[in-house]
Structure 1
Amino acid sequence: MSVTATKTVRIGVIGVGRIGSMHADLLARQVPGAEVTCVTDARPDSARAVGDRLRVRASTIDGLLAAGDVDAVAICTSTDTHADLIVAAAEAGKAIFCEKPVSLDLAEVDRALAAVEAAGVLFQIGFNRRFDPAHAAVARAVAEGEVGDVQILRITSRDPAPPPIEYVRTSGGIFLDMTIHDFDMARFVAQSEVVEVYARGAIRIDADFAAADDVDTAVIVLEHANGCLTTIDNSRQAVYGYDQRVEVFGSAGMAASENPLAHSTIVRTATGVRAATLPYFFLERYIPSYLREWEAFVTAIATGTAPPVGPADARAPLVIGLAAWRSLREGRPVRL
């Protein structure tokens, strides 16, 4: 892997919609050793607005990739553009951070990752939940042997409200849009690849999901190579907030991550106990994980080491997601 060590990692952000704008703000203001030098977007007005706010230049994609003051790119565009942008950035010799997934098509993922390998550039995929302090502590308990041999892993992932149906139609469906984070978490915590997938799904929230050939409620069972069994439950509507929990059970004990509350106040009276609700938006829940994700990327570039979430981690969750769709449609477990 060929990377140029730099004191400050200069990053160009490609795509400054909701997620890209958030990343640009974090990189510019809260990530030590990082600097945003250039932004671009399919909507030039959006790029100029973000550039003006951060006091950096707005450019075209070609201009950003050719810039001498851009060491790395953050690809935060729509999924269907990721593969081509990864290939172009690799050929330009830039280190690459890409939001998940690389593509909804496995052949496109392989094409993009082949370009990364051929160019020898550093690549990190944006599975930010690995960097959540609570989830990471569960994975660390497994890695350090505190829970013994891992036997059962449970992952709960429930959104507070369904996305717009226009988004659902192009998202790849629940398994490739939402559960793909959980597939990565399962590999991360169990420390073992998935060898079989069995998925069940239903429409329990919004009948429009049927027209999009999707489901809004799902349960998935994964079998890992080390024998661990993982269950994942998903819902597109948890009325009480953004619900994200992980529990691992093993021969020597268990470890679990709970949801943070909006604040820590607890009121106790004669009528009962009241606490705050859960965060309602994913940006409220996961800003600390996004910051740690960027710190890991910047450290990898600065030290010339492989990032903790690399090309193999970009591919495996998509394979599991595609198998989950096949399992649901064919009503059977699918071996990988």
Structure 2
Amino acid sequence: MNVGIIGAGRIGQLHAQNIMCMYNVHIRSIADPYMTTETSEWANSIGIPNILLDYKTILEDKAIDAVLICSSTDTHAHISLEAIAANKHVFCEKPIDHDLKKIRQVLCALEKSPVKYQVGFQRRFDHNFRAVRQAVEQGCIGNMYMVKITSRDPTPPPIPYIKVSGGLFLDMMIHDFDMVRYLSGADVVEIYANAANLVDPAIGAAGDVDTAVVTLRLNNGAIGLIDNCRHAAFGHDQRAEVLGSKGAIQSFNDKASTAVLSDEHGEHAEKPLLFFLQRYMQAYRNEVLSFIRAIEADTEPEITANDGLQSVLIGLAAKKSLQEHRPVKIEEIDKLGG
């Protein structure tokens, strides 16, 4: 199978490195309008034969079966539409877009096309979260009461990124909205958000919050709770718990080592992994491998365009809840089109 990568930034390079280790999958081209000499040399060093500035060249190449869209968020929807029209299978980094109309245009195009389309929510492929999901599916916790997710970054992103990110709910917590749906097997019907600017005044000046808690009501009757913060001094804090009538299942932070030193001063253990690429390295590999397998087996990808739509709907509802200081039903956003 031949693939093309659109976007040669950090995530595009990560996917390229992972694909190079996959059997029978070949990167034919990589394109980025801002391709630097350094990036071009990197692409050449790992054996990518075609290093391009224009992604349309990839879409016009009949030898390419699938594309990975790793460019900036504002390009995802229109490149997706062009790729679908070119009959290319698509792996698109989250989100498809922040505009519901544009996302629905992609869904409409997919209804008329046989191509596979997967959204890049890598946490679904993390070993810890998959173990939680499996326990829930097998009925180990009984009737579900509550889903709790903690997601905190070691350091906030740069302010220029904050300004174009869509805000905490559509950039950071969007992963957790997807995880609530994934772990519970249910849809979110209502959300209430509370948030503040406590980490860095510059984030507030950019129009965003950096610390937030949301409560969610699911269509299976369970309650969801998510807390996010742009700064956790001790590392990348990623934990989850599902509570039910038979018990609970929890997942904890990954560390470089599970060894614990005990002495007269107490117990000493490694901090959680500091960087999200370390924390989710295998998950990033697994999500692309899952996409490739869906193409080969002609099956539905594990994360569909509709999953991408649902997470954005929840994110927009969270923003509205914060602005209006009230619970917001997801159907309000769905009916208004954003």
TM-score, structure 1 as length reference:
0.95
Structure 2 equivalent of residue 108 of structure 1: 102
The answer as to 2:63 corresponding to 1:58 is no
The answer as to 2:232 corresponding to 1:251 is no
Measure the CA separation in 1 of the matches of 2:178 and 2:126. Answer: 13
Structure 2 equivalent of residue 284 of structure 1: 278
For residue 26 of structure 1, the aligned residue among 18, 21, 34 is 18
Structure 2 equivalent of residue 215 of structure 1: 209
Q: Secondary structure at the match of 2:280?
A: helix
Amino acid at match of 2:29: C
Measure the CA separation in 2 of the matches of 1:165 and 1:329. Answer: 21
Amino acid at match of 2:175: H
Corresponding pairs, count:
327
Aligned positions of 1:295-334 closer than 5 A: 295-334=289-328
Gaps of 5+ in 2: 331-338
Measure the CA separation in 1 of the matches of 2:24 and 2:235. Answer: 34
Structure 2 equivalent of residue 84 of structure 1: 78
- In the alignment, is the contact (CA less than 8 A) between 1:33 and 1:298 conserved in 2? no
CA-to-partner distance for each residue in 1:173-226, whole Å, 9 max, x for gaps?
Answer: 000000000000000111111100100000111111222221000000010000
Is 84-93 or 42-51 further displaced after alignment? 42-51
CA-to-partner distance for each residue in 1:223-248, whole Å, 9 max, x for gaps?
Answer: 00000100000000000000001100
- In the alignment, is the contact (CA less than 8 A) between 1:38 and 1:51 conserved in 2? no
TM-score, structure 2 as length reference:
0.94
Aligned positions of 1:107-146 closer than 5 A: 107-146=101-140
Once the two structures are TM-superposed, the CA of residue 32 in structure 1 deviates from its matched residue by: 3.5
Considering only aligned residues, what root-mean-square deviation do their CA atoms show, in Å?
Answer: 1.2
* Identical amino acids, percent of aligned pairs: 41
For residue 228 of structure 1, the aligned residue among 222, 226, 246 is 222
Amino acid at match of 2:51: A
Structure 2 equivalent of residue 3 of structure 1: none
Measure the CA separation in 1 of the matches of 2:147 and 2:109. Answer: 35
The answer as to 2:26 corresponding to 1:35 is yes
Measure the CA separation in 2 of the matches of 1:241 and 1:136. Answer: 22
Gaps of 5+ in 1: 1-8
For residue 35 of structure 2, the aligned residue among 44, 57, 63 is 44
- In the alignment, is the contact (CA less than 8 A) between 2:8 and 2:35 conserved in 1? no
Q: Secondary structure at the match of 2:146?
A: strand
